[in-house]
């Protein structure tokens, strides 16, 4: 009985120490991502983040998310604030890659500053790469490309991908068609073929096939 009691006490002590270490590591990570000078270009690998969380990846991502919401609630955001948000959102989406809303949030919020706009697109693309298409993320990528980066062809590509989803607004199809048919831009056959391989809409496919013939 004495040995069993000793084992139980050791187990309790180990659990308490693990909990204390976890909280310490999580708070350290929050402070680090909130103060790092250039979080836009800095990103810990997912494996390092998971090891540092001591198995409590969702708990750490929740704590970081609270920090993000608090920071975004500031009356006026500076460039430095957007940089910190970029680092925090990168950490959250890497810690919990199956949590959709931070990806969606990042694609909208980080696009509001030209320095963090590339990171907004990267986080959205990362979700699509691992989970497949989502019309809202495709739409936001199209919006960022066309309205913020003045890239009509890329905007049309993303709007076309978004238009394939039944729940997407109907106007996206005509908008994509107009942007992809922009005569002021030269498109390579490889670019057009890449879009063609991803689109199933008959109208858009016919239009792209015609453009491929013209480019040839």
Q: What is the pLDDT of residues 40-58, one digit of tens each?
A: 444 556 666 666 666 677 7
In a 3-state reduction of DSSP, which class is residue 168?
A: coil
Please check whether residue 102 is in contact with residue 53, taking contact to mean a CB–CB distance below 8 angstroms. Answer: no
In this prediction the pTM is 0.72
Domain positions in the chain: 26-132, 152-216
Please check whether residue 176 is in contact with residue 159, taking contact to mean a CB–CB distance below 8 angstroms. Answer: yes
| CA 35 vs CA 77, 81, 83, 117, 184: distances in Å | 15, 10, 10, 20, 44
Handedness of CA 19, 23, 28, 34 (dihedral sign): positive
Please check whether residue 88 is in contact with residue 67, taking contact to mean a CB–CB distance below 8 angstroms. Answer: yes
- Mean pLDDT score across all residues of the chain: 77
pLDDT recorded at residue 144? 94
């Amino acid at each position: 009985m004495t040995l069993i009691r000793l084992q139980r006490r050791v187990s309790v002590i180990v659990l308490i120490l693990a909990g204390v270490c976890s909280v310490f590591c999580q708070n350290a990570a929050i402070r680090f991502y909130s103060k790092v000078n250039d979080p836009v270009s800095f990103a810990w690998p997912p494996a390092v983040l998971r090891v540092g969380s001591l198995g409590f990846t969702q708990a750490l991502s929740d704590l970081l998310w609270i920090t993000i919401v608090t920071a975004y609630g500031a009356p006026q955001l500076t460039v430095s604030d957007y940089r910190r948000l970029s680092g925090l959102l990168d950490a959250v989406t890497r810690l919990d890659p199956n949590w959709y809303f931070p990806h969606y949030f990042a694609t909208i919020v980080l696009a509001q500053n030209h320095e963090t706009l590339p990171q907004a697109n990267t986080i959205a693309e990362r979700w699509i790469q691992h989970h497949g298409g989502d019309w809202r993320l495709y739409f936001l990528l199209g919006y960022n490309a066309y309205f913020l980066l003045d890239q009509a062809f890329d905007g049309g590509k993303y709007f076309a991908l978004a238009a394939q989803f039944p729940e997407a607004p109907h106007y996206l199809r005509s908008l994509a068609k107009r942007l992809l048919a922009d005569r002021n831009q030269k498109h390579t056959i490889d670019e057009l073929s890449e879009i063609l391989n991803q689109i199933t809409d008959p109208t858009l496919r016919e239009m792209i096939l015609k453009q491929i013939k013209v480019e040839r």
